[in-house]
Amino acid sequence: MLKQEPGSFRDPFSSVFLAEDRVYRVLSDDGAEDWRAYMASGLKEKLEEEGLVVRSELAPASDTFPANKSNDQLVLCHPRIPFVSYPYEWCFSMLKEAATLHLTLIARLFEKDLILKDASAFNVQFVGARRVFIDAGSVQRYETGMPWAALGQFCSTMLSPLLISAFLKIPFSPFLRGSLGGMDSRLTAKIFGGRYWWHPTVLKYVYLHAFLEQRYSHPSASRALPAALHFTREMLHHMFVVLARSVERLAFRPPQGHWAGYTDTRAYSGDELAAKNKFVSGAFERMPRRKLLWDLGCNTGEFSFLAAPFFDYVVAMDADFESVEMLFSTLRRNGEKRILPLVMDLANPSAGCGWNNRERQSLFARGKPDCLLALALIHHLRVTEGIPLSHIVNFISSLADHVIVEFVAKDDPMFKTLAQNRRATYDDYTETAFRSLFGERCRLVDELRLTKTRWLMFFSRP
């Protein structure tokens, strides 16, 4: 069953169709010319081998592809990405890798008189912690004298969000989620509000950028000017070099995180932790289908690592930007390709957005997990987010066939810490109520009382 990728319609030279196990890209005549130039440069094989660009080959003639049959358009096919993610779900280092990848590709392509026609962070995906550029249709022949048309897109979807995080310690996710086009230069300048004016990157890409955009924003602003400007190759080359160096230097150094230190301060003895690991692994072994696992409230990903050998792919989610940052750097060091870390607030998970609300898919539309891991998560949703227990159980039990949950009772020290200074009594939140609510929907397969106040339960849907 072939369907058009709902997020791919802006580029008239390449459109994308999704099949069960692969992705097809149909190129227009102009797009095909660019593709041939890219092939002739000899770069395609190299970039794919280095894992920078997604593999693409000509679709075999045997593939029944309507667009291919009606006219002689060039059709490419790519492997599918295990789980699609979006820039507003990434931590700082993930977005930085996307930016660095763009600049690396441009440096390599520009040597062969090629360039990227767009520079949207959405053109990068992650397989585990490995970034890959997925828009092979973005490679274009460079026309002498022309500027880089996508610099604005690069700034708004990657550079500006990175700058506000690196300099002002502001997580970029809300901005990128709020506007798929990214951050306008004038918005960025307002957020910076005059600070760091002395920093060359901020001065150039925030203040100067915003000033010029403001100054020449009126539609009548000298339309003759663009045609009168001639860009030499050297100018663009040196701009790219300086930009790459600036991005390389950006770093996110948060104050000691709230949850990041959680693993160390947790109220478990070594024996209890071993028992917890054993229970969880035992539950994994009893599941018949082990393709996708979601680790909700993954913290620094301890149990995602435990799950990775059992599942094809693990998506580890946490609302805390810093925890995900830590997890990503661990994954990057390990070269792990089966765990995808995402910043996700479960009380407000990614929704469908963009054109027709379908351009970017909601979290739930991107794949159904076989198993859900929700360890010490429910009391956070109950207390911090104020969601009634019945709603939480409804939500969790509807997502997957198998659920492993850790229930933290009201007299647990962690619960008390969370609930202090709150006047609510959480009367609905009891172990008995939890069991009966889950029991209405699932079967309790196994359980373990970890401590006096904590239970591990493994539920399966009949």
Toward another protein, which CB reaches closer, 149 or 168?
149
Min separation Cβ 18 and another protein, Å? 22
Instruction: Please report whether residue 140 would count as binding another protein according to CB under 8 A.
Output: yes
Instruction: Please report whether residue 225 would count as binding another protein according to CB under 8 A.
Output: yes
In this structure, which amino acid lies at residue 415?
F
Among 70, 72, 228, 265, binds another protein (CB under 8 A): 228
Min separation Cβ 53 and another protein, Å? 20
Report which of 311, 414, 391, 295 is spatially closest to residue 344, judged by C-alpha positions. 295
| DSSP assignment string, 74-117 | EEEEEEPPSS---GGG--HHHHHHHHHHHHHHHHHHHTTTEEES
Instruction: Please report whether residue 25 would count as binding another protein according to CB under 8 A.
Output: no
Q: Which stretch binds another protein (CB under 8 A): 45-53, 83-91, 222-230, 333-341?
A: 222-230
Instruction: Please report whether residue 212 would count as binding another protein according to CB under 8 A.
Output: yes
Toward another protein, which CB reaches closer, 2 or 9?
9
In this structure, which amino acid lies at residue 269?
S
Report whether 58 contacts 43 (CB < 8 A): no
Instruction: Please report whether residue 203 would count as binding another protein according to CB under 8 A.
Output: no
Instruction: Please report whether residue 229 would count as binding another protein according to CB under 8 A.
Output: yes
Instruction: Please report whether residue 10 would count as binding another protein according to CB under 8 A.
Output: yes
In this structure, which amino acid lies at residue 51?
G
- CA angle 411–415–416, rounded 5-degree value: 70
Tokens of 304: 């995602």
Report whether 178 contacts 206 (CB < 8 A): no
Toward another protein, which CB reaches closer, 18 or 244?
244
Instruction: Please report whether residue 30 would count as binding another protein according to CB under 8 A.
Output: yes
**What are the phi and psi torsion angles at 47 (to 5°)?**
-65, -35
- CA–CA dist 339, 85 (Å, integer): 12
- CA–CA dist 438, 317 (Å, integer): 23
Min separation Cβ 189 and another protein, Å? 12
Toward another protein, which CB reaches closer, 250 or 437?
250
Residue 231 carries which DSSP code?
B
Residue 374, Cβ density class (10 Å: 0-12 exposed, 13-18 middle, ≥19 buried): buried
Min separation Cβ 38 and another protein, Å? 14
Toward another protein, which CB reaches closer, 142 or 172?
142
Instruction: Please report whether residue 118 would count as binding another protein according to CB under 8 A.
Output: yes
Toward another protein, which CB reaches closer, 34 or 336?
34
Q: Which stretch binds another protein (CB under 8 A): 10-18, 68-76, 84-92, 98-106?
A: 10-18
- Say how many residues touch another protein, by CB under 8 A: 48
Toward another protein, which CB reaches closer, 235 or 274?
235
Among 238, 278, 286, 368, binds another protein (CB under 8 A): 238
| DSSP assignment string, 8-46 | --S-TTEEEEE-SSEEEEEE-HHHHHHHHHHHHTTHHHH
Instruction: Please report whether residue 241 would count as binding another protein according to CB under 8 A.
Output: yes
Instruction: Please report whether residue 359 would count as binding another protein according to CB under 8 A.
Output: no
In this structure, which amino acid lies at residue 240?
F
- The half-sphere exposure of 31 on its side-chain side, counting CA atoms within 13 A, is 19
Buried b (16+ CB within 10 A) or exposed e, 331-355: bbeeebebbbbbbbebeeebeebee
Among 204, 290, 337, 435, binds another protein (CB under 8 A): 204
Toward another protein, which CB reaches closer, 143 or 264?
143
Which parts of 148-177 interact with another protein (CB under 8 A)? 148-153
- CA–CA dist 133, 308 (Å, integer): 24
Instruction: Please report whether residue 274 would count as binding another protein according to CB under 8 A.
Output: no
CA dihedral angle for residue 391, residue 394, residue 396, residue 400, rounded to 10 degrees: -160
Min separation Cβ 57 and another protein, Å? 24
Min separation Cβ 78 and another protein, Å? 21
Instruction: Please report whether residue 249 would count as binding another protein according to CB under 8 A.
Output: no
Instruction: Please report whether residue 215 would count as binding another protein according to CB under 8 A.
Output: yes
Residues that bind another protein (CB under 8 A): 10-13, 30, 34, 117-118, 140, 143-153, 185, 204, 208-209, 212-217, 221-223, 225-232, 234-236, 238-239, 241-242
